[in-house]
Amino acid sequence: MYKHEKQAVERLQSNHIHMLSTLSTAIIAFSLIISLSGTLLFPVMAFADEPQPVAQVGNTTYMSVQDAIGHTSMKNNTVTLLTDTTESVTVTPSKVVRGVTLELNGHVLNASNTTAITVPANMQLTIVGSGTVVGGDNPAIDCRGALRIQGGNFTSNTTLMRFAETGSTSAEASISAGTFTAPTLIGMLDDAEHLGHVSIRGGEYHGAIPAGLDTLVLMGGSFSTTENLTPYLVDMAGLVPDSDDGMFNISELAISSDYPTVELEQGSTLQKLTNDSLLDLTRTKLNGISDYRLVADAEQLQALNKQIELALQAVAKRKAFDAVSQTVTITATRDAETVDGGADPQFRTSGHDEISTQVTVNIKSIAKPEEPAKPDEPGKPAEPKQLDMPRTGSAIQALAVISLLLMIASAFCVYATAHLRSPRLHN
């Protein structure tokens, strides 16, 4: 009996040990699973909570655009946006770097609480890429240094870009591409004495450009309005309307005449011409809106009017007038009168500041009118006209031949009549 009890106890102990071993194994396995899960899951969660880099210089990423600008170098001076971000930045690279390129890379840079991008004096910024700079209620760009815009979209609810020239420094900007949208596109910073040297060479502009920006030069681009723009146009340029989108494109000026040759003849068209009436008659015009005007050569126009005067005198005196032709040169010259607040003349004159064309005016000949027949004198009847008789020998011979023929014809008629009557008598 004791032996059986001992065996039973041993079996229970063995089962208990086995169960403990199994339980321990299960606990250890569970712990390993939890440990592995924690290793895999928690880093992912931690990574999701970490802020993402927004800009890159070379192979290094940065958590802000400003930090990236500060880490540019002579070798790597391009800051590339990696994501959309809200941040107002100032171009302040390391001391050895004077120029930075901002690659928008299809992303958006939103202004935070001030101007989106500020370019200090003695610094240069080049903006490239297809992204967007949003000023919101602030300007998109303030520039006291050098600015090059070669792409991108720029928007603001106020003045879009502000520049400044002071006693010691001057902004210099060249804009060749991009889309610019704001109520006012260009303005001056509060302490500016002048705008600075700003040239627009291309791009699309939706908004107004105020008058009085003395050193702004428009060389190209497309504009939604022409107001205030003509004084800023480079020499020999005009604003040509685009029928497709309603914009005005800066293009080279050209003169065209619908009727380069016209004729004046006796009647309503034969009258002296002024500069304007000659332009109207020939329909001579410029292809675009500009501050150029068309002027006919004064000496040639005077010579033409002299010929017109002679033709009118010939008509009045009932005399003949031979046809004459006069060529007149019409030149487009920039209006010398500078509107208050317009562009400084030094930026819009050159040695080639004119284009011209020629028109020809032909004055048709005038024949001398026939003299009217004199009326009969009262109380004296007009003498009847006598028939002119032939007086030459040939005429007399002709009459003799005709008389002889008539006599022969008459004799033949008599003979025929007698011959016809003879048979009747015999009957």
In sign, the C-alpha dihedral spanning 401, 406, 408, 409 is positive
Cβ contacts of residue 313 below 8 Å, gap of 6+?
319
91: left (phi over 0), alpha (psi -120 to 50) or beta: beta
pLDDT score, position 50: 79
The model's pTM: 0.71
CA atoms of 25 and 30, how far apart (whole Å): 9
Cα distance between residue 224 and residue 220, in whole Å: 13
Are the beta carbons of 323 and 346 closer than 8 angstroms?
Answer: no
pLDDT along the chain (427 residues), means of 10: 50 51 51 48 50 95 97 95 98 91 98 97 96 98 98 98 94 98 97 95 98 94 96 94 91 95 87 95 95 95 95 90 95 70 43 80 87 63 56 62 76 68 51
The first and second tokens of residue 228, run together, are 């205030």
Q: In whole angstroms, give the CA distance from residue 321 to residue 130.
A: 71
Distance between CA atoms of 393 and 410, rounded to whole angstroms? 26
355 beta partners: 332
Q: How far apart are CA 265 and CA 314, in angstroms?
A: 12
- Tell me, what DSSP letter sits at residue 381? P
Nearest of 177, 59, 178, 182 to residue 115 by alpha carbon:
182
Question: What is the C-alpha separation between 252 and 287, in angstroms, rounded?
Answer: 9
Distance, in Å, from the CA atom of 328 to the CA atom of 18, rounded to the nearest integer, reads: 122
What six digits make up the tokens of 296? 């006919």
> How many angstroms separate the CA atoms of 80 and 69, rounded?
10
Is residue 163 within 8 Å of 193, Cβ to Cβ?
A: no
N-term to C-term CA, the chain: 208
Helix (H) or strand (E) holding 422: helix 393-426
Q: With CA atoms as reference, report the closest residue to 180 among 161, 167, 199, 201.
A: 161
pLDDT at residue 101, rounded to an integer = 98
d(CA 85, CA 83): 6
Contacts of 391 (CB under 8 A, 6+ apart): none
Task: Find, among 141, 57, 144, 137, the residue nearest to 101 by Cα.
Answer: 57
Count of positions (residues) in the chain: 427
pLDDT of residue 260: 96
Helix (H, G, I), strand (E, B) or coil at 340: coil
Token duo for residue 39:
């290793």
CA distance 115 to 138: 5
pLDDT of residue 114: 97
Separation between Cα atoms, residue 321 and residue 310, nearest integer Å: 8
Residue with tokens 């060249």: 174
Q: How many CA atoms lie within 13 A of 226 on its CB side?
A: 16
Distance CA 4, CA 26 (A): 33
Exposure on the CB side of residue 25, measured as CA atoms within 13 A: 6
